[in-house]
Amino acid sequence: MKLHNPLEQRRSGVLLHPTSLPGPWIMGDMSHNAYRFIEFLAASGQTIWQVLPLGPTHGDSSPYQCLSTHAGNPLLISLDWMVDKGWLPEDVWQRAEPTTEWRLKILEAGCVKALASGDQETLEDFDRFCRGQAFWLDDYVNYAVLKERHHGASWTQWPLPLRRAEPAAVATELESSADRLQLRKFEQYLFFTQWRNLRNYAHSHGVYLFGDLPIFVAGDSADVWAHRENFAVDENGKCMVVAGVPPDAFTDEGQRWGNPLYNWPALEKSNFKWWLERLRTHFSIYDLVRIDHFRGLESYWEIPATSETAINGEWIKAPGAALLQAVQDSFSEMSLVAEDLGIITDAVHELRSEFAIPGMKVLQFAFDGDMHNHHLPHNHSADMVVYTGTHDNDTSLSWYQSASDQTRHLVRAYLECSDHDMPWALIRSAMMSVANTTIIPMQDVLSLGAGHRMNTPGTTADNWHWRFDWSQLEDHVATSLRELTERYSRLGDGNPVGSFQDINSWPLVERRIA
């Protein structure tokens, strides 16, 4: 099936990070359940699967603080796929341990077997991948192996020559680590190969993949270590100012993210080469991309590094128009979405409009009693992506149940519903919107309440670990979702009906899809 720009027609989709998929492992991945989820989307009339960033994470598991802006998270690699290739024993899942360390150890064993297998087709494909992705891959594997050798310490704590990424010092330090470097490269080859297969399967079912690009990158990352000239850090990686946002609806103290800010003059001088390479990777694996905190391309909140909160910051102008013009000049099609939530100025709206980038509306933000609230459906426009809630919100059912009596009254009056109709009354309202694109978090599709939140902004504990189970998906859900999708003309460009068999009849682990 030929796929067109997803933003040109009315359509809808579901927000679910792959780590939240069911399965027998420590977290969801690109195994069998990812393919079954695509079949569910097709059967329910959904033509978009939105995910969070897919990069390798730090210990807190946040996909918004990754070790690389290009690399894929090795924990998402399907071990079942490697069993099918003969690189792991068929009973590997029977010996599974509920730890990340076990998962990575087994992955490494499979990579060693694959590299020693003599499979010329795989090895030649791997070689092409390494050559084609060398612009980021070499820096990433050097950084990853050096981080291993220094027991996980941030690169800012490494010996000075390594901290400054001096080529001779890096080469000497890694002289005896050729096998480790090769393993890290092969993991990335596996990730991108499996993601390509998954994307092809999604396309065969009329489903687009919607990715997420954090505007800032983690300080402890291959990007800052290898290219600190693009960031507002000194030669040792120290920040005088850091990124965040001022107080908003989520927190009274704002959010101090702590990411290094950009050295925009240096980036402009290179015609934004680093940004264009970053987007090239994202456009190669997704059909459309959301720029998280789009507001930061117009002005960013600069916080003194010594400040413990985000209160004492100031807005600094950014060259977003010049960057987006460079992006537009470099790519034939720019399927971007702007996360334009929070404190948004006329200048931000003008920047988004200048480059025809759709913005976001969130129904959970709509019911404050102001009929001019731009999140209310009657104030939407076609160039929008409307959500019931995002990964940073509580589930819609929990949000409604914990809201004030006044807010619940406003919701019932506006949606003409009762308490028992939530969250599907909110889903129906999102589907009715004139906005071209509607995205529903999987938690709302499943009508889940308290205890199923993905992330609470401003906190670092108990986030990013939510998973669903197929037993939570009642038989009528796919049919109900498809009925709404058809009723409000959101089937897009001819999504096939699809076939979604009874999920309760599936064994825990089926044969994998090669």
Question: How many CB atoms sit inside 10 A of residue 302's CB?
Answer: 16
Q: What percentage of the chain has pLDDT greater than the value 90?
A: 85
Provide the CATH number for the domain formed by 6-134+179-213+271-294+319-505 in this structure.
3.20.20.80
171 contacts 178 by C-beta, under 8 angstroms:
no
Q: Which of 78-82, 456-460, 491-495 has the lowest mean pLDDT?
A: 491-495
Whole-angstrom distance, CA of residue 98 vs CA of residue 170: 35
**3-state SS string for 382-433:** CCEEEECCCCCCCCHHHHHHHCCHHHHHHHHHHHCCCHHHCCHHHHHHHHHC
Q: Is the pLDDT of residue 497 over 90?
A: no
Q: Is the pLDDT of residue 446 over 50?
A: yes
Contact 264, 318 (CB under 8 A): yes
Residue 494's pLDDT is what? 53
> What does the angle CA 288 – CA 300 – CA 458 come to, to the nearest 5 degrees?
80
Residue with tokens 């695509």: 38
Q: Of the residues 84, 119, 248, 392, which is catalytic?
A: 392
Give the mean pLDDT of the chain: 92
Question: What is residue 512's DSSP assignment?
Answer: P
Categorize the per-residue pLDDT at 505 as very low, low, confident or very high, splitting at 50, 70 and 90: very low
Cis ω before 18 (30° cut-off from 0): no
Paired tokens of 168: 């001779």
The helix-helix angle for 273-285 and 320-330 (nearest 10°) equals 50
Q: What is the pLDDT of residue 4?
A: 52
Clarify whether 392 is annotated catalytic: yes
Amino acid at 398: S
Between CA 490 and CA 13 the distance in angstroms is: 9
The answer to whether residue 500 scores a pLDDT higher than 50 is no
Half-sphere exposure of 337 (CA within 13 A, CB side): 32
Residues 69 and 211 sit within 8 Å (Cβ to Cβ):
no
d(C-alpha 314, C-alpha 343), whole Å: 13
HSE (CB half, 13 Å, CA atoms) of 95? 10
Ramachandran assignment for 271, one of left (phi > 0), alpha (psi -120 to 50 degrees), beta (any other): left
Give the separation between CA 514 and CA 507, rounded to whole angstroms. 18
pLDDT for position 94: 74
This prediction has a pTM of 0.94
> DSSP for 86-115?
TSS-TTGGGG--SSHHHHHHHHHHHHHHHH
Residue 289 and residue 337 in contact, taking contact as beta carbons nearer than 8 Å: yes
**What is the per-residue pLDDT for 334?**
78
Q: What is the pLDDT of residues 218-263, one digit of tens each?
A: 999 999 999 999 999 998 889 999 999 998 766 788 889 999 999 9
Instruction: Name the 3-class secondary structure at 211.
Output: strand
Lowest mean pLDDT among 52-66, 169-183, 285-299, 451-465: 451-465
Q: Using CA atoms, how far apart are residues 176 and 179, in angstroms rounded to an integer?
A: 8
The CB-side HSE value for 73 (13 A sphere, CA atoms) comes to 25
Residue carrying the six token digits 């850090």 = 233
What is the C-alpha separation between 376 and 238, in angstroms, rounded?
43
Q: Looking at 173, 292, 298, 444, which residue is catalytic? A: 292
At CB < 8 A and 24+ separation, what contacts does 112-118 make? 112/183, 113/86, 113/87, 113/88, 114/82, 114/85, 114/87, 114/186, 115/182, 115/183, 115/186, 117/86, 117/87
Domain boundaries, the chain: 6-134+179-213+271-294+319-505
- What number of residues does the chain have? 514
Tens digit of pLDDT for each residue in 328-370?
A: 999 987 799 999 998 899 999 999 999 999 999 999 999 999 9
d(CA 400, CA 411): 8
Spatial distance between the Cα atoms of 396 and 388, rounded to a whole number of angstroms: 7
